[in-house]
Structure 1
Amino acid sequence: MRIVVVADHAHINGGLARVAIDSAKGFARRGHRVDFFAAVGPVEPGLKEAGVAVTLLDQPDVLSTSSLLRFGAQWLWNGAAAGALATLLASCEPTDTIVHVHGWAKALSPSIGWALKGAGLPVVHTLHEYYLACPNGGFYDYGAARNCDYKAMSPGCIAHDCDSRGYRRKLMRVGRHALMRHGSGLYDTARHLITISKLQRGIIAPYMPKGATFYEVGNPIDVTNLGPKGEHKPGGFVFVGRLSAEKGPRYFAQAAVIAGVTPVFVGDGPARAALEEEFPQAKFLGWRDPAQVREVLRAARALVFPSVWYEGQPLTVYESLALGTPVIVSDVCAGREAVADGETGFWFKSADERSLADAIARLEDDDLARRMARAAHARYWADPLTLDRHLDAVAAVYEKVRADWRKASTPARHAEALS
């Protein structure tokens, strides 16, 4: 089987890229021919080491380009991406190829839909976010700092300023979304969709093409089984991730004040300066490499995950549980699906600092923290989200998608033969 993986970035800069790259390497090592198509470099060295053929456009991420004109052209319709992808797909044998789209919104643009539709190959999309349904990709109102109440692309949605950079950018997003939906062909290829949580499917399903098929496949978690924690005194409460409004770091800081604990933040982002000023007692460790993050999580009493948007499958939650650290998680994000409330952590009411403070106060009990730590480790490793398990599940999806493609294309090929 030839697998063409499509993503904005050829290096790991977040969960989406990690899953795309790790799965590409995994399938190559299983003997499949794998192509990785991306706009933004550098190239993760492990791709070529695994035998993956990389097509890199060497373009900037739309957030990092210094030219407003270039940003607009690439973001709305990346013609170079469409042409290069069309060329790559033209070299593929239809009967043994599948195209797997992981991301397009940060650099590749809706233009890749033209290439995908024109090639006529079987396509599957993994929905790491919501750009196929929502103009800003998250069903999140950045101005109000809460989930959006409007139906995507309804008159109310179009009129409302939900964008983090202002209403003019929102209108650009609306225009691009209309182009994606009606003028690019990309939406038309969204017939086979991998979702990474039950919550995500429930949110996005009403917006997808009629008759679309959904497959739930959890992302792999890159973590080593270190065994259960010892009986030493548990550490403190830790936040790991981007310091931005939708991740809810301020609710953690507020709850920590109420509960009388010191909040620890691992990560960086646009909200950091304001948080440091408002909460001088908090500890800000900045970005850490993956090994350092795992050390912090392993030593913590609990991970606090206060996300206030419909986050699809927060990998940090699973990683924390795998390391034997309980999780206090917002009830609005899919991280709650991994946490057994009262057993491996607590759910709290989203955007409610007092509900979060109550959960933190409960875990101040050392004996309870130790019991939850043991339960978190045991529950995760009873059914771990390994890369092999992920590859097996995705391979099964590929076979179903290819079978559906063969069934749909047989009449056309028969008619062509008769002519």
Structure 2
Amino acid sequence: MRILLIHNFYGSEAPSGENRAFLLEKAMLEKNGHEVQTYTTHSDNLRKLGVLGNITGAIMTPWNPMTYDRVRRIVKKFKPDIVHAHNTFPIISPSIFYAAGDVARVLTLHNYRLFCSAAIPMRNGVVCTNCIDKKSVFSSVQHGCYRGSGFATLPIAAKISLHRSIGTWNRAIDSFVALSEFQKNLISKGGIDPNFIQVKPNFFPGTPDRIPYSKRKNSVVFAGRISEEKGIDILIEAWKEWGPDAPYLEVLGDGPLKSKLEKNTKGINNISFLGKMDSSEAEKIIGNSRLLILPSIWFEGFPMVVREALALGTPIAVSNIGPLPTIAELANGVVFEPGNSKSLVEMVQSALSDKKQMIERAAASIRAFEQNFSETTNHNILMNIYKSAIEKRRSRK
């Protein structure tokens, strides 16, 4: 199959799970013998331009005529069977779906930016789905949901309104890829026909080396962006409440709360902030941990770190919000109430005290990976999505 993959890479100063998912999927397709061509842009190019870059990004977000023309020419020359976009924000824009001609188009929904200007359905530390429920962007502009600025939010709100009004989402795209059933249901509330949304979670490539659970060190791990929506402050509070008897907590990643939390945990010997590291280093730590904790307080898509943990046989403990409890159920994971440090301590403490059950959870994690999140399973799902998109495009002619 001939596939044109399209992606706007986010800035390199904040490593993105979306960027990693795009590169992994490209490698998977090539490994399985497909002919792949890419069209990509980088947000770093805008940042180098300073204020001019901000203005350029704002103008191009709703509709970029230059990327329309470039993709149209690539499609004409490459003649793909599928045009598959992952992220079009901020430079590429949804104009590329109109440049595809008669070719089937697929869009992966890594977040909720189709209807939510912030991409994260959250405002002031609380889940907010106003723009999805009301099918209106007024609230996002009013509250400055993108970077706390109504002015900065305007271009994204304009994009959402424009493409809702001209029917882009229901007429110019043949298959949407949601990362979970939860995300599919929420996106369909925004106005997308659920028959055009198919579920394909993120995957882990290959089969990793695993450390037997009984030989792992007495530590647990958090890996991700150190920010409010990830609930990392709740996790730190839980560890303070647990006290010196709590297992060693290793925090991987970077983000706006890192320096504050490091300062607040000085003198606490069982919490360590290890900072940003490459995926192979992170996998070693996750694979040698007794538990991965994901205390998110917002609707995740499908965190890349979850499929890493399951592949490595590391049990997961997640907050009871969005798609996380459903994923945990597949792997017999631990579930606690979001934003509740006492619930987190109670559930994690109880789980770790039963060593036999934790070994069983580790085995369940591996089974969940092999059945749902392996590369082979993911490729099969993606091929079915592509075939469905091609059939839908033919029926539209």
When normalised by structure 2's length, the TM-score is 0.86
Tell me if the contact between 1:237 and 1:300 (Cα under 8 Å) persists in the aligned partners.
Answer: yes
Match of 1:102 among 81, 86, 111: 86
- Indicate whether 1:128 and 2:116 are aligned: no
Q: How does 1:295-310 map to 2 (within 5 A)?
A: 295-310=284-299
- Indicate whether 1:393 and 2:381 are aligned: yes
Q: How many residue pairs get matched?
A: 384
Q: How does 1:12-411 map to 2 (within 5 A)?
A: 13-40=15-42, 60=44, 62=46, 65-67=49-51, 68-93=54-79, 97-116=81-100, 119-141=101-123, 144-152=124-132, 153=136, 155-182=138-165, 185=168, 188-210=171-193, 212-222=195-205, 224-227=207-210, 229-232=212-215, 234-260=217-243, 261=246, 262-280=248-266, 281=268, 282-340=271-329, 344-365=332-353, 367-368=355-356, 370-383=358-371, 385-409=373-397
Task: Output the CA distance in 1 between the equivalents of 2:76 and 2:122.
Answer: 38
Task: Output the CA distance in 2 between the equivalents of 1:372 and 1:62.
Answer: 49
Query: 2:264 corresponds to which letter in structure 1?
Result: E
**Structure 1: runs of 5+ lacking an equivalent:** 41-58, 410-419
Measured after TM superposition, the shift of residue 239 of structure 1 is: 0.7
Runs (4+) off by over 6 Å: none
Q: Deviations over 1:138-175 (max 9, x none)?
A: 2121xx11210424326445433433333332334322
Secondary structure of 1:35 counterpart? strand
Tell me if the contact between 1:227 and 1:377 (Cα under 8 Å) persists in the aligned partners.
Answer: no
Measured after TM superposition, the shift of residue 378 of structure 1 is: 4.2
Measured after TM superposition, the shift of residue 233 of structure 1 is: 5.9
Q: Deviations over 1:343-388 (max 9, x none)?
A: 7431111111111121232234162564345334443355252222
Measured after TM superposition, the shift of residue 205 of structure 1 is: 0.9
Tell me if the contact between 1:82 and 1:115 (Cα under 8 Å) persists in the aligned partners.
Answer: yes
Task: Output the CA distance in 1 between the equivalents of 2:210 and 2:303.
Answer: 22
Secondary structure of 2:61 counterpart? helix
Secondary structure of 1:193 counterpart? strand
Tell me if the contact between 1:62 and 1:74 (Cα under 8 Å) persists in the aligned partners.
Answer: no
Tell me if the contact between 2:3 and 2:34 (Cα under 8 Å) persists in the aligned partners.
Answer: yes
**Structure 2: runs of 5+ lacking an equivalent:** none
Measured after TM superposition, the shift of residue 185 of structure 1 is: 4.0
Task: Output the CA distance in 2 between the equivalents of 1:320 and 1:218.
Answer: 14
When normalised by structure 1's length, the TM-score is 0.82
Q: Which residue of 2 aligns with 1:417?
A: none
1:166 and 1:149, CA in 2 relative to 1: closer, same or farther beyond 3 A? same
Task: Output the CA distance in 2 between the equivalents of 1:11 and 1:159.
Answer: 27
Task: Output the CA distance in 1 between the equivalents of 2:121 and 2:221.
Answer: 26
Task: Output the CA distance in 2 between the equivalents of 1:28 and 1:285.
Answer: 34
1:17 and 1:109, CA in 2 relative to 1: closer, same or farther beyond 3 A? same
Tell me if the contact between 1:254 and 1:353 (Cα under 8 Å) persists in the aligned partners.
Answer: yes
Secondary structure of 1:347 counterpart? strand
Task: Output the CA distance in 2 between the equivalents of 1:125 and 1:161.
Answer: 26
